[in-house]
Amino acid sequence: MLRKLNNYFTVFEKILWLCSVTLIICSAFIFGKDSVLSVIASLVGATSLLLSAKGHPIGQALAVVFSILYAIISFSFCYYGEMITYLGMTGPMALAAFISWIRNPHENNKAEVKVNHISRKEVALLPLLTVVVTAVFFFIMRYFGTANLLPSTLSITTSFVAVYLTFRRDPFYAVAYALNDLVLIVLWSLAALTDKSYISVVVCFVVFLANDIYGFINWRKMKKRQAGTAD
């Protein structure tokens, strides 16, 4: 089993995961205070992203676990928007994506989902849905006194697009998540100005950004290979 797992990942993917883990643990060691949960969440998240980049459904199952852990971390800094987003949208959508990916394997290969592309109708509908979801969450966050409301709202916008595209198995899900990572880097950098222990969360999303960029590149390769057009 270990040999099969070892052969499943490329050399680059192993290096990416090891570098991700090293950065996460080192940042937690340096900034220390109250960061145990952040470390666990970050490790789960990094592993989830790598598996998702491979098109493996287990990646989305781990995304559900990460959503719960991240919601707890967000609550600790009064980022109620992040907490509500991950518990009320990202987590449930990750679960839906997990089911969707299981039901749509590539040629009966349960370890790789079939790459899809959203229709033109969906492309036209997505901005409207995004505006509606963002507006609803904005008023909810404002009601609860969410810290740094503007970047928190932008995080919801990018998160919704990302989870929708993930559910629909579209390669551009990774691009949307990369944009979300950039927003969250800013969001948690603001938190780190108050409490340096949150620097470990910033590092977490820097790691996530690298993984999401790789995810988009690999899904493009998967698309070509599944279509039989790979070089």
Cα of 18 vs its chain's centroid, Å? 18
Domain interval for residue 122: 2-104+116-227
The domain total for the chain is 1
Contacting residues for 205 by C-beta, under 8 A, at least 6 apart: 181, 184, 185, 188
Type of residue at 202 = V
| Predicted pLDDT of residue 32 | 59
Q: What are phi and psi of 115, to 5 degrees?
A: -70, 140
Over range 6-27, report the average pLDDT.
Answer: 92
Residue 73 domain-assigned?
A: yes
- What gap in Å lies between CA 86 and CA 122, rounded to an integer? 23
Residue 199 domain-assigned?
A: yes
Answer yes or no: is pLDDT of 103 > 80: yes
Residue 39 domain-assigned?
A: yes
| Cβ atoms of residues 97 and 73 within 8 Å | no
Answer yes or no: is pLDDT of 230 > 50: no
Residue 15 domain-assigned?
A: yes
Q: What is the DSSP string of 87-145?
A: IIIIHHHHHHHHHHHHHSEETTEEEEEPP----HHHHHHHHHHHHHHHHHHHHHHHHTT
180 against 188, higher pLDDT: 180
Answer yes or no: is pLDDT of 87 > 80: yes
Q: Tokens in use for 150?
A: 């503007």
Answer yes or no: is pLDDT of 34 > 70: no
| Predicted pLDDT of residue 102 | 96
What pLDDT digit, counting tens, does each position of 8-17 carry? 899 999 999 9
CA atoms 23, 26, 28, 30: torsion sign:
negative
| Cβ atoms of residues 130 and 157 within 8 Å | yes
Answer yes or no: is pLDDT of 192 > 80: yes
Residue 148 domain-assigned?
A: yes
If we measure between CA atoms, which residue out of 65, 43, 68, 38 comes closest to residue 200?
Answer: 38
Residue 110 domain-assigned?
A: no
| Predicted pLDDT of residue 35 | 63
| Predicted pLDDT of residue 1 | 56
Residue 111 domain-assigned?
A: no
Tokens 């789960």 belong to 44
78 against 219, higher pLDDT: 219
The CA-atom distances, in angstroms, between 31 and each of 17, 19, 25, 45, 198 are 21, 18, 10, 19, 8
Q: Tokens in use for 161?
A: 């697009």
Percent of the chain with pLDDT over 70: 94
What pLDDT digit, counting tens, does each position of 114-149 carry? 999 898 999 999 999 999 999 998 888 888 887 788
> Could you count the other beta carbons within 10 Å of the beta carbon of residue 227?
9
| Predicted pLDDT of residue 231 | 43
pLDDT band at 50 (very low <50, low <70, confident <90, very high): very high
